[in-house]
Copies of this chain bind each other. A is one copy, B any other.
Amino acid sequence: MNKRQNKITIVDVATEANVSFGTVSRVINNDIHVKPETRERVQQTMERLNYVVNRQAQKLAGGRSNVIGLLVPDLGTGYIGEIIRGIDSELTLSDYDLMLYTTHRTASKEAGYVFSLAQDMVDGILLVLPRNPVDYTGTLAKKKFPFVLIDHQGTGKDCPAVGASNWQGAFNATDYLIQLGHKRIGFITGSLDLGAAIDRLDGYKTAMRTRHIPVESDLIYEGTFAQPDGYTGTIQFLNVEQPPTAIFASNDCMAMGVIDAIRDHGLKIPDDISVIGFDDIPQASLVRPALTTVQQPLEQMGRLATQMLLEILTDTDSKPHRIELPTQLMIRDSTAKPKAVQANREVIP
């Protein structure tokens, strides 16, 4: 059906411009060996004919396709959306297109399959938090295929990656709570098979210990980054003999669950319990009370990762490195001094 349309090819341009198609190809690829006038003439012809290079053929013939692949685990959360925006805006500047793969789709098939597919389609791959990282990075590295990891606190392996300082972010958030006067701080973890989740837990623990506050196991609830975990974890905390006066959820989604649970128990935020999240997804500032959270520069991460990939793509042998972007505590309305301290304050002065 869509065959033999009025598609114009390199040959048409060549004929029209009175050169061989080889020359046209050279113009397309910015080859040195073209006389300026010829180049000019060919370019004008291309424009006049509305010629657009066929990337399939380009890639097939051994060139680049100017397409980069993006592998994401899921589209559910605003989280990925932010990252994609960064990627997209960076790509805009560079004439690359984007191929989107959701890894959950091919969960059954092995990682290798995805690559075989992607490989002859795209020039490089951006990998967001794969479910089974080693699988992917292993295959990728072995095939020497250009790629950059996003938000993946790696398996020690030094491959190009951009992430955020999860540890520092969690540390700061916890420390902030402690400074407010909180001593009993509940922590809800993410999926602990993810480096980011571990780092956040570590940051929390370290902050507690630094301030000589014991880390109690019944104030740590193991979640999976999903909203219901926040709810369940909170319920559990509330049943502890001496419930926490603050809850730190490993991401904003779970923090929303925390808020719901607290509210359902007739308690007020932040008066009775303070809540902190992680990520700073768009709705964090929209909920009431506005959520205090640790901001991850998601969009910037996407942007940076793209830049890195593009660099690898051009500068064939740029050494792999890992960039860690700073996180930032966004103090909003869901945190306050614990009641006891507030009371004290009122009495003392």
**Chain A residues at the B interface, C-beta cutoff of 8 Å:** 1-3, 5, 7, 50, 52, 54-57, 59-60, 62, 65, 67, 70, 75-76, 78, 80-81, 84-85, 88, 91-92, 97-102, 105, 112-113, 116-117, 119-121, 143-145, 256, 282-283, 286-289, 316
Asked whether B117 lies within 8 Å of A102 as measured between CB atoms, the reply is: no
Asked whether A56 lies within 8 Å of B62 as measured between CB atoms, the reply is: no
Chain B residues near A59 (CB, 8 Å)? 56
Chain B residues near A52 (CB, 8 Å)? 113, 116-117
Other-chain residue from B50, B56, B120 in contact with A121 (beta carbon distance below 8 A): B56
Chain B residues near A288 (CB, 8 Å)? 287-289
Top 9 closest pairs, chain A to chain B, by CB: A52-B116, A283-B283, A288-B288, A92-B105, A56-B56, A100-B100, A54-B120, A98-B100, A75-B85
Chain B residues near A101 (CB, 8 Å)? 97-98
Asked whether A117 lies within 8 Å of B55 as measured between CB atoms, the reply is: yes
Tallying the copies of this chain within the complex gives: 2
Interface pairs (20), CB distance under 8 Å: A1-B316, A50-B113, A52-B113, A52-B116, A54-B120, A55-B121, A56-B59, A56-B60, A70-B100, A75-B88, A78-B81, A80-B81, A88-B102, A97-B99, A97-B101, A98-B99, A98-B100, A282-B283, A286-B286, A288-B288
Closest chain B CB from A57 CB (angstroms): 6
Asked whether B88 lies within 8 Å of A84 as measured between CB atoms, the reply is: no
Chain B residues near A1 (CB, 8 Å)? 144, 316
Give 9 new A-B contacts, CB below 8 A, not counting A57-B120, A256-B286, A286-B287. A1-B144, A2-B145, A52-B113, A52-B117, A75-B84, A97-B121, A98-B99, A286-B286, A288-B289
Other-chain residue from B50, B55, B98, B316 in contact with A112 (beta carbon distance below 8 A): B50
Residue of B nearest to A74 (CB): B85
A interface, over-half SS: mixed
- A52 to B120 Cα, complex, angstroms: 10
Asked whether B2 lies within 8 Å of A119 as measured between CB atoms, the reply is: yes
Chain B residues near A81 (CB, 8 Å)? 75-76, 78, 80-81
